[in-house]
Structure formats: C-alpha cells, structure tokens
Structure 1
Amino acid sequence: MSKMGLSGQESSDQTKVKKTDILKDFQLFFFSMSRLASFPWTFLEKDLQSNKSPEFISDILKQTCLHSLCRKFPPSVRYRRLFLSELIRREAAGCDPLDELYDALAEVVGTEDTTECYKSYLLPCGEAVSLLENVALISEGTTGLVTWEAALYLAEWALDHQQAFTGRTVLELGSGVGLTGITICRSCSPSRFVFSDCHPSVLQKLRANVQLNGLTEQMSPTVSVEELDWTTATEEQFKQIGADTVIAADVVYDPDIVGSLVKLLSQILRSSSSEVLPEVLICSTIRNPETYSSFKQQLGNAGISHHVITGPVGHVFPYNRLSSIEMIQLYR
C-alpha cells in the first residue's frame, strides 16, 4: 500500500476511534443528566457537515434514549425532551430527517413529568450505578435526595485506591442516595459496608437504591442501611459496627450541624476496640469557606488532627471539576 493509502487508512481509523469516544461521552453525560452544554455537540455538527448523513445521530440515539438502560432507568422526562430537541435542531441543519428521532420525541412529549428520575453513573468496568434521585436539588426539607460533587470525587478516589477498602468494614456517614457507597461495594471488595443517614425520606430512597443495585445482606459484601442520628449516636454503636474505614462526602455545609459532626467523629476515633484507629476520610465541596474553616478549627479544638489528601483522581464521572473539593484524613 502506498504512503498516501496508509495515511488515509490511519486517518479513517482515528476518526472511528474518535467517534467511539464521542459516543461514550454522549452516553456518560446523558445517563448522569449532565448539563446539555457540556455535550460534544461540535463534533456532531462537523460530522453532519462533512457526511450529510443521520448515521451518527442514529448511533447517539442507540447509546442514549433507545438504549436498554434508558428503558429500565430513564432520566427525567424533561431532560430527555430537551436532549432530543437539541439533536433535532442539529439534524435539521445538517441532514435528512431521521424517523426514530421524532418517534423518540413523540414518546416523551406524551409522558407526564414526575418529581423523581433515574441517574446512572457508568463505571470503568462497563457496569452502571443507577440511582433513583429527586429532580429538585432541595426537596422534603433536605439536600440528601440528589448526588453532589464531593460524592462523585470520593467515588473516583476510591476507584483509584481500592486497597483502602478491600477486605474492610466500611461505615459511611450521610450516605444520601448512595452513589459513593454503591461504587465502593461494586468495585473495591469491602467485607462489610454500612450505609447511614438520619432523614426518613433519604433512608427510604437509600434502601431502594441499595436494592436496585443488587446489594443485600445475604451477598458479599454484607451490606446494611442504618439510621444514624449524629446528635444521639453513642460510642457503643460504633464499637458494634467496628469500622476499619469511615467515609463521608458533602457533610460539611451547614454551620448548625458542624458541632454535632465533630462530636460524632471524636466518638468514632475513641470507640475503636483495636489498637489501630479507623481510617477516617472526609470529602467536601467548599461552598462556604467560613463554614469549612470553622469545621477544621473545631476538629483541632477536639484534639483531632488532619492532613489534606492531594494528587489527581481518574476522571470517571461527569461533574463540575471547577468546584473547590478537598479531601482530608483525620487522626487522633
């Protein structure tokens, strides 16, 4: 084959690889209900301009709205409607109409919106963590019915540091809808995992999500969901759990509960029945520097030292990486 022929073949292969990566991005963003502006629309527009064919749009549809995961755990009706409208807008400018695109839109136009939806977060192994979440960020008097950035960051850190959880008993404080804990259970092989929260609606959704992802008390790891009120928890409770690792994500946001959290962490570090203290990891999105600074100061006042865990994490889930996220490990 001539050099020109080889060059053309390489270019074609690179385009195929690029298309495969772009399709994965569309799928990743769609199932986690990422902002539509974050999708790789530019690549689609260029493909339409050069090929004048709806083939790539058809491929996108198969990986999103027509995918079996969407049938089982669909993103919100409004989100699917907006996503399909964006596809149609670009298709209209670049190629012939694609019937299945309009069929998919007709299906969601006739569907009623609900207050709940599914978000699915794709793991590197190809499996998905699918969660029932609320559409609104704040509902039923709590922020615990949606997944927040620090939970995604901590899950990514866990995927990079699986040995921190393998064969261990893990307690998660403020588990919310369960993203971090379910990711750890599915990927890091803990021997036991205890999810916890205190809001009744959050606990109900958390239990549903744990079951939804095939985790039960009868399987390995042994999993339980427990009500844990930070103001009334006792050292005895923590001794019974016997956690080797304690994690929490996005629990430092309300100045009114920082004191209760610090008291709770002191109890956890005191309650260890072995000479080895549990590894305690707290991951926070710093929305209010004053509140976060107060948390660290109160830790110090309680005799708890900390160090900031630095270093990059693998980019697995789509979220706003401009957010200020910090992870610390606690010591006594």
Structure 2
Amino acid sequence: MYEAYTDLLQQGETDDEDMLCHKTYFLPNGDNVSLQESINIISQGTTGLSTWQAALNLAEWAIEKCRLFDNRKVLELGSGLGMTGLSICKQCNVKSFTFSDCHYQVLYLLMRNIEINLSQRETNSEDTDLTLEPENSSKEKKMMKSICRQLSVNSEITNESSSDIMEISYNSMVSSTGGIQKDYSYSDCDNFEPNSIYWSTTDNENIYELRSDDRVRLAKLDWESSNKQFIESLDPDIILAADVVYDKTIIPALVFVLHILLSKTTECGEKPVAYVASTIRNEDTRDHFLISLGAEGLSYTITEPPKEKVFFYDDVIPVEILKIYKA
C-alpha cells in the first residue's frame, strides 16, 4: 500500500491518461475495431478493462460463422471492452446485439468503445476521444480521471504471467470470509448512466439503445442480483460469452443466467443456443463449470476452433468454445 501511495504522489496530472491506450484490430472485410483499454491486465478487482485471448478467439470464430448470426438477436454476457460484439456488429448481419456487463468502470469504457465504433459521427483520425456537449464534458472528464487514477494503483500487476491473472484478480475481490468486495468508490451499476447524446432510454431502466443504430443495446446485468424477469426480457436467439469461466465461486450465478436464457423459446419456435469461449487455465475450474451445466439440465458440445487467425495475440494456452443448449 505504501509503494502504491508513493507512486501516486509522484504522478502529475498528465500521467493519468497514460493508463489508457487505443488499440485497433483490423477485420477481414476491411473495417476495424478501435478500443480504448487499460495498459494493465487487471485493475480494481476486474479483468474487464483489457481485451483477453478468448474474446479475440471467439471473434475470429464468429467471423467465420457469420451466417449463423444472420437476422438473429444476440446477447453477450460479460462483454468487457466489446471486442467480440463490435467485430460481429461490423462483420455480420445481426438483427440486434445486446452488450452487457456489471462493473461500473467496464460499462463506462464499453459504452465509449461502442460510441467510437458504431455512432454516426465525424471523428478526427488523430483523436479518437468523444466530442462532448458542454453539459456532459465535465462529467465525462471526471469519470475518465477517476478510472485512470484507479488503474494506476494496479500498474505493477502487469508483471504477473497472463495465465495466473484471472485467478489473482478474482481472489483480490474476495475477503477472508468469502464475501465479494465491491468497487471502493462506486457501486457497480447504480452510478452508471450512458451519455444521452448517443444513447436513449428504454422501457427497462437497465437497458439503453444506441441512437444511431437501434439494433445495438447496452444492458447493466449483474448475474448475482438480476431477477428472472429481467433476464428473460433480454430474449436472445444466441448468447455469447468469452473468458467468464475463471473462478468456481461465480459459476453458479453464470449457470443460473444461462439456464433462464436457454429455457425460453425464441420467436422462431426454437430454443436459444449459447457459445462460451474459455481459455483453459485451470482444469478443475473448467470441470466444475461442466458439472454445473449438467446439474441444471444443460447440455454442451465442443465446437471446432476458428481455422484462421485474424488478430495478433498469445495463443499458447488453448481456448475452448462450448456450444451450450437446453436438451
């Protein structure tokens, strides 16, 4: 704590922005996805501020399976910074796409990344920051400064190997009594409000629509606290998730959400299908997830991995994509 405190004291006002960077990923159709993300692997107990291997792998798989998404309603659980979803929105012909997450900071950067990539607005090629109306500028800057300062506290964790980070990050959220420690400054969902310039409200206070493209929605979804009625209202044909299976303690909530979503019947009279991509870091955690699926009456098969690598990332640790469905 002392080292982190002294590091913060040495930082100037301009150093905060150094905790965030922009990365651009090029798609096969000539388009690209530009993401604002943390330079650190973990911050404030969340891994959602960086793009992870499974998200890139799932995006590659989805690009090869574009026809699967034709005129389908897609929901992504734990969207993180939006890499998978934005790739699908730009490469495939979806009927709708709902991004979802819970952590306050992740939702905020996810919102910005959706705006940067999908809002119909003119941008300066040398500056990908959003152009804000005067009444929103102060609030937006304050939010970004808060995120950057909190990112800086965890900068030294980048020295850890990526294969251990998921477990480290979640353990840092759990107290000795097993309780999950929430964000120190904000509650995860209650303080999040999208920029009204780009987003409109819906009948549900936890769901927002992108003004320039009403196919795109953003949902505040906490697996542990959301009720069944809200989860059912999301009404997807296809559910996607990447790198959400990394700790046994969150698996019950995840499987609970999947069970509700996969038990419904779509407008076409079919059951929805989920595709969950996981980097296999811990066999015990993976097996626990599979056993939990079976206990809820959910079946699964292992899908073929993407044939071609589109993005540059470390693929030493294998990624497994499960097709999950209600038998």
TM-score with structure 2 setting the length: 0.65
Aligned 8 A contact 1:235 1:271 in 2 = no
Long gaps (5+) in structure 1: 1-109
CA distance in 1, matches of 2:248, 2:15: 41
Q: CA deviation at 1:234?
A: 3.0
2:100 maps to which of 196, 199, 204:
196
The answer on whether the counterparts of 1:236 and 1:271 sit within 8 Å (CA) in structure 2 is no
Equivalent residue for 2:28, pick from 121, 124, 127: 124
2:231 alignment counterpart: 238
Q: How does 1:161-200 map to 2 (within 5 A)?
A: 161-200=65-104
- Residue among 294, 297, 312 paired with 2:288: 294
Match of 2:264 among 247, 271, 279: 271
Shift of 1:112: 8.5
User: 2 CA distance for matches of 1:285 and 1:183?
Assistant: 19
Q: Is residue 235–residue 261 contact of structure 2 (8 Å, CA) maintained in 1?
A: no
Cα distance, 1:122 vs structure 2: 0.9
2:18 aligned counterpart, secondary structure: coil
Q: Identify unmatched segments of 5+ residues in structure 2.
A: 1-13, 120-208
- Pick aligned residue for 2:249 from 256, 263, 268: 256
SS at match of 1:321: coil
Cα gap change, 1:112/1:133 in structure 2, threshold over 3 Å: closer, same or farther?
Answer: closer
| Bigger CA radius of gyration | 1
1:302 Cα deviation (Å)? 1.1
Matched, 1:144 2:137: no
Q: How many Å separate the matches in 1 of 2:71 and 2:266?
A: 18
User: Structure 2: which amino acid aligns with 1:262?
Assistant: V
Aligned length: 223
Q: Is the 8 A contact 1:190 1:221 kept in 2?
A: no
In structure 2, what is the Cα distance between the partners aligned to 1:221 and 1:188? Answer: 16
CA distance in 1, matches of 2:113, 2:64: 23
Q: Using structure 1 for the length normalisation, give the TM-score.
A: 0.64
Share of identical aligned residues, percent? 39
Residues 286, 324 of structure 1: 8 Å contact kept: yes
Over the aligned positions, Cα root-mean-square deviation in angstroms equals 1.9
Tell me which amino acid in the other structure corresponds to 1:264.
Answer: V
Q: Secondary structure at the match of 1:213?
A: helix
1:253-291 Cα deviation digits (max 9, x unpaired): 011101111111111112335531112110100111111
Aligned partner of 1:314 in structure 2 is 308
